[in-house]
């Protein structure tokens, strides 16, 4: 795994952790469930991006269907 790919994975996981912290803060301050769920959704999104990068799949990858 290249240093660039590893850095990108670490960055995405950091974004995921930050989103979870934000969701917790929103929930504790009585914000709407929609706002909390939005942050949790993005946490999962960033985690999936990290997983895809670890498997060498990127958003630019395309598969052909016939």
pTM: 0.81
- Listed in sequence order, the residues at least 6 apart from 13 whose beta carbon sits closer than 8 Å to its beta carbon are 46, 47, 50
User: Given this model, what pLDDT does residue 2 score?
Assistant: 87
The series of mean pLDDT values per 10 residues for the chain, 66 residues long, is 91 98 98 98 97 82 47
Ordered by start, the domain boundaries in the chain are 13-54
Tokens for 40?
A: 């949790």
What token pair was written down for 16? 């995921």
């Amino acid at each position: 795994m290249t240093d660039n790919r590893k850095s990108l994975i670490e960055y995405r996981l950091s974004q995921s952790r930050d989103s979870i912290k934000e969701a917790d803060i929103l929930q504790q301050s009585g914000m709407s469930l929609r706002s909390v769920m939005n942050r949790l959704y993005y946490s999962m999104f960033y985690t999936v991006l990290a997983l895809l990068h670890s498997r060498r799949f990127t958003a630019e990858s395309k598969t052909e269907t016939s």
